[in-house]
Amino acid sequence: KRYKTNVEILKPSTTCLEPVLAIQNNFNKGFQMWKCVELFQQYITTDINNLILHGDDLNVQLGLQPRMRPPCGLSRLQHDLGFQTTLNFDYLYFLFNIQYIKKGTIKNTMIHRGEWTEYLFKIECDTLEQLHYYIKSSAMHGMKNWTVEQKKNFFTFMFKYVIGPNQTRYIDTTMAAKLLCNVVALTTCPKMSRFSICFANFLFKNVSVHKCINLDQWKVFVDFSTFINEDCSNFDSNDAWPIIYDDFVEWMQKGKSDRMVCM
């Protein structure tokens, strides 16, 4: 039995990378490649061709461990762009877009020199200020017109970003919940953001039961938030949803999802 798809027909946008902005014109003439490369040079550390995020840095940012060594390139870039925490939709959206240029492959937290120049050339930014402005304004449209597939790609990216270099197959439940309420909840999809807050609450409260989330469970959230009604009336636990969603729906229907403000 296949479930009936009740997907809202999304406009097939050719690309999600280039929201045409009026403001962009101002920068058009001034783009200079050397400035762009110089910017990249500022943030390289050991590896001269890649901007790297260490697992340590991520943990430090999330307050999981004290800082032991100077922040790495990507971490500094994030700070200089004005993002206090790495779990920020605008910032992740920017990283995702840089990597998404190489279509299909989603790597983890690393920006290659080529990607950097290519992307900055495309959006014609060569200073931090321009870049900051561009990120802020493009993220406003984030996810609005995405297809399910694009959303899934973004989810996969987030997952791999959080895993970082330590190649595990799953992320902590707390981490997933933080991603949900700090990143997914801020997207412009109303249903998805409502679900994500609920789901984050559920995860926070059931950390002991569900200790970690794997990529499959994480990605299915996109399907879940797309196909399931807000009152979960069309949810059937006999369908192929992972167990955690069965539990989630049961939890919601028990009325436990009182509007707890997420952390």
Partner 1 sequence: MFKKSAPKINAPKSEIIDTTESWTLLFTAIQQIFSNECSNLSYEELYRTAYDLVQQRHGESLYDNVLECLKYRVNTIVKRILKPLKDGDHGLLRDVTTEWENYSLAVGMISNVMMYLNRTVVLNNPDDYSPISALGFILFRENAIKGSEVGDRTRRQVLQLIQKERDGETVDKMLIKGSVNMLNKLSCYEQELEGPFLTSSSNYYANLSQSLVDASSVPEYLRIVKTKLKEEAFRVQYYLLDPTKQKIEQIISEEMITNHLGTIMDSTSSGFGIMLRDDKISDLKTQYNIFAINPSHIKELIKKFRSHVASHGLSFVNDEQITKDPTLFIKNLLDLKRKYKHIVKESFDANPLLSTALDEAFRQFADGTVQSRMAEYLSLYLDSLMRSNEQDQDQTLDDVIDMFMYLKDSDVFENYYKTHLSKRLLSSRNMHQTVESQSCTEKVFVTKLKLECGYQFTSKIEGMFNDVRLSRIAMDQFEKTNKSTLGLDFYVNVLTHSFWPTYDPTTLILPHQLKQCCRAFQEHYDSVHNGRRITWQPNLGDGLVIANYPNGSKYELLCTTSQICILDCFNACEANQVWSEEELSSTTGIPIRDIQRQMTPLCSSRHRVIIKDENGYCWNEEFKHASTRLRIAAISTKETTQQVHQTESKIEMDRKPIIEAAIVKIMKSRKTMYDNQLIESVVTILRPTFVPSPIEIKKRVESLVEREFLERDEKEQSLFRYLA
Q: What is the contact surface with partner 1 in residues (CB under 8 A)?
A: 1-3, 148-149, 152, 169-170, 214-217, 219-220, 223, 227, 238-243, 246
Burial category of 82 from C-beta neighbours within 10 Å (exposed 0-12, middle 13-18, buried 19 and up) = middle
- State both tokens at 212: 């970690």
Backbone angles phi and psi of 112, in degrees to 5:
-85, 150
Smallest distance from the beta carbon of 226 to partner 1, in angstroms? 9
Question: Which residues are CB-contacts of 162 (< 8 A; sequence separation ≥ 6)?
Answer: 58, 171, 175, 179
DSSP 3: P
Angle, CA 251 vertex, CA 245 and CA 256 arms, to 5°: 145
In the complex with partner 1, the residue whose CB is nearer, 1 or 259, is 1
Compute the distance between CA of residue 236 and CA of residue 244 in angstroms, rounded to an integer: 13
Compute the distance between CA of residue 9 and CA of residue 219 in angstroms, rounded to an integer: 20
What does the CA dihedral 176, 179, 144, 231 come to, rounded to 10 degrees? 50
In the complex with partner 1, the residue whose CB is nearer, 27 or 170, is 170
Smallest distance from the beta carbon of 9 to partner 1, in angstroms? 15
- State both tokens at 115: 């990607």
Smallest distance from the beta carbon of 56 to partner 1, in angstroms? 26
Smallest distance from the beta carbon of 234 to partner 1, in angstroms? 13
How far, in whole angstroms, is CA 205 from its chain's centroid?
23
In the complex with partner 1, the residue whose CB is nearer, 129 or 236, is 236
In the complex with partner 1, the residue whose CB is nearer, 186 or 215, is 215
- For residue 52, the SS3 value is strand
In the complex with partner 1, the residue whose CB is nearer, 132 or 152, is 152
In the complex with partner 1, the residue whose CB is nearer, 28 or 238, is 238
Smallest distance from the beta carbon of 240 to partner 1, in angstroms? 3
Question: Which residues are CB-contacts of 48 (< 8 A; sequence separation ≥ 6)?
Answer: none
Smallest distance from the beta carbon of 244 to partner 1, in angstroms? 9
In the complex with partner 1, the residue whose CB is nearer, 24 or 150, is 150
Smallest distance from the beta carbon of 4 to partner 1, in angstroms? 12
